[in-house]
Each structure stands twice: as C-alpha cells, then as structure tokens.
Amino acid sequence: MLTRRAFFEAASLAGVTSAVFPDLLMAEVGAAPVSTAENITVETIKAAEVLAGLSFTDAERELMLDGLRRSVADYHAIREYALPNDVPPSVAFDPQLSGQTAPVLPARIPAGWTPEVPARPVSDEDLVFLDIPALSGLLRSRQVTALELTELYLARLKAFDPVLQCVVTLTEERALRQARAADVELEAGHWRGPLHGIPWGAKDLLNVEGYPTTWGAEPYRDQVLTPDAEVVRRLDAAGAILIAKLTLGALAMGDVWFGGRTNNPWNVERGSSGSSAGPGAAVAAGLVGFAIGSETLGSIVSPSTRNGVTGLRPTFGRIPRTGAMALSWSMDKLGPMCRSAAGCALVFDAIHGQDPYEPASVTTAFEWPLHQGLEGVRLGYLEGAFEKDQDAAVLDVLRDSGLTLEPVSFPDIDPSPLLLMLRVEAAAAFDQLTLTEEDDRLVRQDAGAWPNSFRRARFIPAVEYINASRVRTLLMREIRALFEKIDVLVMPSFGNPGLSVSNLTGHPCVTLPHYFAAVEGAPAGSARRNPESITFLGGMYRDDMALALADHFQGLTDFHRRRPPIQ
C-alpha cells in the first residue's frame, strides 16, 4: 500500500521545481513507495505537467531530467527537520510599499485620561453587558470589585457553555488569583489603566502557560505550549484577567472544533461562524468583558458579523503574534472583539507595538481619542454596494451627522487567485500533519476543509506562488492610491471584494452590527435574529481613524447595545 508520505515523496521526485504531481501518476509509479530518484522519467514529468497547466517538449523534458533527479536529496534533507509551527519563514511580509513611511512614535492614551464613572446597574445582567469604558469606570470607582466581576463572568461561562460550546478551557485558578491581586492594587489607588480588573477570553491559539493550547484540533488537544503569548503577557501587565480559552474552528477555520460546533447566541440553531467562534459567541452573550480573536481571511469580521459584536482587525504587524498559532505568515493578524469600538480602541492601545521576537511587528502611532476629531475626515463609500435598505441607512446616518461621503471603487484586480498564497502557507505550517496522516483526526473531512486544502496546496507551483505575491504588490499599490484620496472607506462587510482585498494588503478595519434581521421560519414573537454588519476600512496604520468613525456611528445608534436571547 502506498502511504501518504510515500505519495508526497513521489510528488517531490516527480515535479520538484513546480511542486505538482497528478493523481493519475500513482498508477504510473506503481503501488510501492517511491524512494529513489531513478523513478523519475520523461513520462513522469509529462504527467506532472497536467496539474501545473504546462506543456514542454520531449527535448525540454530530457534536459530537466538530471536536475530533477539531483534535487531529490535536497527535499529529503529539508524533510529531516520536523519544523514546529512557531518557526517562521526567513522572509517576512511588509504591508508598506517603497515610499511609504509609517508614524514611528507611539501616541498612547493620555496619562490623565480616565473613564467616565457610571452608576452601577441594579442587575448583574445589566452589569455584564456593559462595555469596557463603563466597566473600567466602575472598577476604578470601586462600585464593583475585580473578584466580583470575575466570579460573575465565570458563573455565566459555566451556565451558558453547554448551549453555546464556546469554551475549551476555563482558566479559573489563574483568573481568581489575578482578580484578588487587581483588587489589592485598585484599593491602594494603583490603577494600571482602562483594562485593570476586566475579565477577558483568549481564542485558543494563544499560548497560556500551564493550560492546553489546542488550536481547536483533535491532534493538539493536549499540547501545553510555553511561554505565554506576547498578547497575553501585555494584557497581564495591563491588569486584565484571563478567565477562559475560547473555541476556534479547527486550525482557524469555521466554527467546528474537536468538541462540537460553537453556537450563535442570537440563534443557537446556527453556528457562530469562525474561526474566532468562541470569542464572538462569548462577547455577544455577556460571558467575558472582551476577547482576543485572530484573522487571516475573515476570522474576526465574520464572527463579529454573525454574533453582532464589534471587532477590530488591525493593520498587519501592529499586534505581535508571538506565541500564537501560525496559519499564514503573510496574512495572520490578532485583534480585539468587544461590545463597542471604544472598547476595541482601549484593548488595542494595551497590546500594540513591536516585539523583538516577531519579525513582522511594528510600533506606530495610535491616537485615542483622536485629537483632531472627525473634522475634515475624507470618508468614502463603496459605490454600488449599498443596494439594501439597511446598508443605505448607514450612509444616511453618517450624512445626517454632517459627514461628506464620496463614492469610490476597488481596483480591477481580482483578489481570489492571490489567495493561493494563504493555502500554500497554511499547508507549509501544517506539513507534518499531512505527512504523518494526523490530519485524518480533524473533525471536518469535506472538500472545503483543511486536510483536503493542505493536500491540494502541494500541487501549487512555486513560480505561481511568487507571481501571486508580485500581483499582490500591484494590488497594494492600487489600494495605496485609493487611500491617497480618502481616509476611511465604509462598505458592507460581505458581498464585495473588500474582505479579500484588505486582508491581502494588510489594511485595518472595524466591523460592527447595523441590522438584526428576523429569522425566517421562527415562531411569532421570537427574539432570534440574524445580525448583519458594516465595516469601516482604514488607511494603512490608521486604525485610530477607522475606530473613530465606528465609534461615531455607534454614538448615533444603539445596535451595539442589543443583547441576544441565547436560545
């Protein structure tokens, strides 16, 4: 029987320069494992051309033959290194193009800034649904203690997780220890900042010492990784309290993990989307004060939409990924998921900035609140994308507030083919999973799931990967030109190229709810809803500007304050 490892060794032997080897070749090389370069023939090369979409002459194939055979040893040598997921490529993606200069000095929240102090709500139910600025004010004024808040959120996690399936591991002991320490400091008048004493949840691709980091996938459900992720370390320093490691779809895809499907608190018969499934559900249901999610291609935007919460996907490189699972080194981003844009800004302020262990990370200015306000902001809207009444209503709110909007369009470059870069990088990040057949243990095994995607990525030619990167540069140039005309672009979160384009270029966005549609077929009077969202896309390193527009919209509406029925 030909094992999968032998199959991929055969693939390397057969088409090493283009990394392709068609299934039909299996009959040609025979059922025995291929282990010698002599198995490569002119006919082998000819068959391998099929998946690459190439055609050579027999003379050209003969000329390639010796070189392909000699390269076999190199591939075997590379495979001798069982590369762990935390080893990045030696080349790092940079969203800045030549001629661009990012602000270099961090403009942190002013030292004298303090949150407004609201009156404590009468009910605990009202308390847990407050956003970060309000919780911060209550904690600092000592109307609520960190321990009280932590115990309240822990109780809710335990009560609602059987329905939502949003928790992988409770970090209860760690959380109670942190809460008691926070109360001692707050009582003594030592305030670390807006997050001091606020409980939060981590998407379970962030390392937390002493607890499993499962990546949502069966093969890794017992792994314990150290040290703490840099984001966890920074939130500890800010006084935030980690109370749970929350679910993600296996290896950051979808909402299905080894424990089941994470459900949507607005309609529990529907999944919470992914891959930041647990963060989306937990924030929406009032189980945590905020959460940290991650996005490669929609994994903050989509669950923020589905669960009706506010998510910030920051500019690529602004939040270090050290200690986080790698899926795509040129596209992965970490970001906060909260109940308001203002909350996202406060979390971002605590965790952004360069980490010497993260090659792609940068420190650039972040201003909150904006000193200039929104005076003179150049706001664009995606032309032709606002045909739905609920979407057009967003533009009306913005215009009625005194803002001027200009129609703009994305460049005529289809981003879809460029996403082969994501597939190749993900396949490389989990190559050992494929070679050892451990990918068979993942719950999802359909055509769109990771196991099949990893295998298919083995047949993407290396030249196409590089050329996709070059077209990506053209796309980045076009988007840079677009943002020379505007500061922020407002668009529906889906139904247009914006999600793919901006993930490829590395631009920041804030996604927030703006409509709650009734669930078709639900009983009369049902509180179930399907949330919809709008996205504010910022210029490079202007996360603060995108957040300011989102905060402005939320100041004029109440969509972000609505609560799910959890039924």
| Secondary structure E strands in 305-431 | 310-313, 333-338, 379-382, 405-408
Long-range contacts for 116-120 (Cβ within 8 Å, ≥24 apart)? 117/141, 117/143, 119/143, 120/144
Structure-token match 């005309």, residue found: 485
pLDDT surpasses 50 at 349: yes
How many Å apart are CA 482 and CA 504, to the nearest integer?
Answer: 15
Percent pLDDT > 70 in the chain is: 91
pLDDT for res 35: 46
pLDDT surpasses 90 at 524: no
pLDDT for res 15: 40
Which residues are part of the catalytic machinery? 203, 275, 299
For the whole prediction, is pTM greater than 0.75? yes
Report pLDDT digits (tens) over 1-40. 445 555 445 444 444 344 443 332 333 333 334 446 778 8
pLDDT for res 185: 98
More confident residue, 91 or 502: 502
Q: Give the pLDDT band (50/70/90) at residue 81.
A: confident
Report pLDDT digits (tens) over 53-79. 888 899 988 888 888 887 777 777 777
pLDDT for res 417: 95
pLDDT for res 553: 98
Percent pLDDT > 90 in the chain is: 76
DSSP 236-272: HHTT-EEEEEEP-STTSSSSEETTEEPEETTEEEEE-
Look over the chain and give the mean of its residue pLDDT values, rounded to a whole number. Answer: 91
Average pLDDT of span 80-102: 83
pLDDT for res 103: 63
| Secondary structure E strands in 460-528 | 488-492, 509-518
In three-state form (DSSP H/G/I as H, E/B as E, the rest C), the secondary structure along 161-229 is HHHHCCEEEECHHHHHHHHHHHHHHHHCCCCCCCCCCCEEEEECCECCCCCECCCCCHHHCCCECCCCC
CA dihedral 541, 547, 549, 555 (to 10 degrees): -170
Report pLDDT digits (tens) over 527-539. 999 999 999 999 9
pLDDT for res 110: 59
pLDDT for res 194: 95
pLDDT surpasses 90 at 52: no
Q: Give the pLDDT band (50/70/90) at residue 313.
A: very high
pLDDT for res 90: 81
How many Å apart are CA 282 and CA 382, to the nearest integer?
Answer: 31
Q: What is the DSSP letter of 324?
A: B
Q: Give the pLDDT band (50/70/90) at residue 369.
A: confident
